[in-house]
Chain A
């Protein structure tokens, strides 16, 4: 089976790769959001701590 045949999925390529592509994309977005959330939470905590120390 050639790579072109493999990706064609016997005519169902759009449906098969559309399924896996979007699934992986949203999982990737979720991972990025969770990491971003941690970064901003830690930044927020440091800012609050620094604001507290100045008083």
Chain B
């Protein structure tokens, strides 16, 4: 069966497709979130050193990974929009930014609440924490820059440049625990395996998957409004049943 994927790179076709896809991501996200929480709180054992405080890991690590990953996807879409002048890619970049900022915030917040009992400080200016804070500022800068420019196509281009230049920060966050002496522990999941208990690993991966599915669902929902706004002078938008009613 031949599927014309380029068909869905047009906002017209993607609007409808995105609407149909949202529940297919949102429902599994909610179910996996509950499964992950159950395993994280009722199956995973108490940590020998950190006692129950370590359970913050099941939200902290997925949120941190996604805050970096979303940034790269956002910069990728922004770059596509800049190079090929594809409207939908730029709209996707715009739609991803608030959710990326949200996960960067959750990462910092849960990190502070974990740092206080374990390190004795809510915050330290070390490489890992500072570079993650810069990531939050990059997201906020991207959002502010785009919303300050009236013409959407110019806003796309300006935002894209910021997003692309800012992506240099992502490897800095990732490798900060190796490159500098920091208070933050090293990578929990290494390419060579992990020393975590199997139930802890399961809970963390399930929570990561749940959060990832949530990101897709909420981004699709947000991009639909962006599509409507930017295409509001077109025939197809005015013929949509949700607009006609």
Q: Which residues of A pack against B, CB within 8 Å?
A: 6, 9-12, 14-16, 18-20, 22-23, 26-27, 30-31, 34-35, 37-38, 41-42, 44-46, 48-49
What is the CA–CA distance of A28 and B107 in the complex, to the nearest angstrom? Answer: 16
Known: A19-B114, A49-B243. A30 touches B98 (CB 8 A): yes
B132-145: CB near A (< 8 Å → 1, else 0) gives: 00000000000000
Cβ of B178 < 8 Å from any Cβ of A? no
A31's closest neighbor in chain B, by CB? B218
| B114/A15 in contact, CB under 8 A | yes
A42 touches B114 (CB 8 A): no
Q: Flag if B46 contacts A10 (CB, 8 Å).
A: yes
Give CA–CA (A33, B52) in the complex, Å.
33
Please determine whether A9 and B59 come into contact, CB atoms closer than 8 angstroms.
no
Q: Is the CB of A45 within 8 A of B113?
A: no
> Would you call B214 and A27 a contact (CB within 8 A)?
yes
Instruction: Please give, as numbers and ranges, the residues of chain A lying within 8 Å of B232 by CB-CB distance.
Output: 44-45, 48
Q: Which of A19, A46, A48 contacts B109 (CB 8 A)?
A: A19
Task: Confirm or deny: B224 has a beta carbon within 8 angstroms of a beta carbon on chain A.
Answer: yes
Question: In the complex, are the beta carbons of B105 and A26 less than 8 A apart?
Answer: yes
Do residues B52 and A16 form an inter-chain contact, with CB atoms below 8 A? yes
When distances are taken between beta carbons in the complex, the residues of chain A under 8 Å from B238 are: 45, 49
Excluding A23-B59, A27-B214, 13 further A-B contacts by CB distance (< 8 Å) are A6-B41, A10-B51, A11-B51, A15-B56, A15-B116, A19-B59, A20-B59, A23-B109, A26-B102, A27-B102, A42-B242, A45-B228, A45-B237
Chain B residues near A44: list those with CB within 8 A: 229, 232
Q: Is A37 in contact with B102, judged by CB distance below 8 angstroms?
A: no
Contacts of B60 in A (CB 8 A): 19
Provided the pairs A37-B225, A38-B224, A45-B228 are in contact, do residues A30 and B56 lie with their beta carbons within 8 angstroms? no
Residues of A within 8 A of B114 (CB): 15, 19
Contact A15 B237, CB 8 Å, known A42-B243, A48-B232: no
B63 with A18: CB separation less than 8 A: no
Closest partner residue, chain B, to A22 (CB atom) = B109
Cβ contact within 8 Å between A41 and B52: no
- Within 8 Å CB of A22, what residues of B? 106, 109-110
**Complex contacts, B37 vs chain A, CB 8 Å:** 20
A9 lies within 8 A of B53 (CB): yes
A48→B212 CA distance, assembly (Å): 36
Q: Report how far A39 CA is from B78 CA in the complex, Å.
A: 26
- Min Cβ gap B242→A in Å is 6
Complex-state Cα separation, A41 to B105, whole angstroms: 27
Task: Please tell me if the beta carbons of A34 and B53 are within 8 angstroms of each other in the complex.
Answer: no
Q: Which of B59, B106, B218, B243 contacts A45 (CB 8 A)?
A: B243
- Cα-based distance from A34 to B155 in the complex (angstroms): 21
Chain B residues with CB under 8 Å of A12's CB are 51-53, 117
B55 near A16: Cβ-Cβ < 8 Å: yes
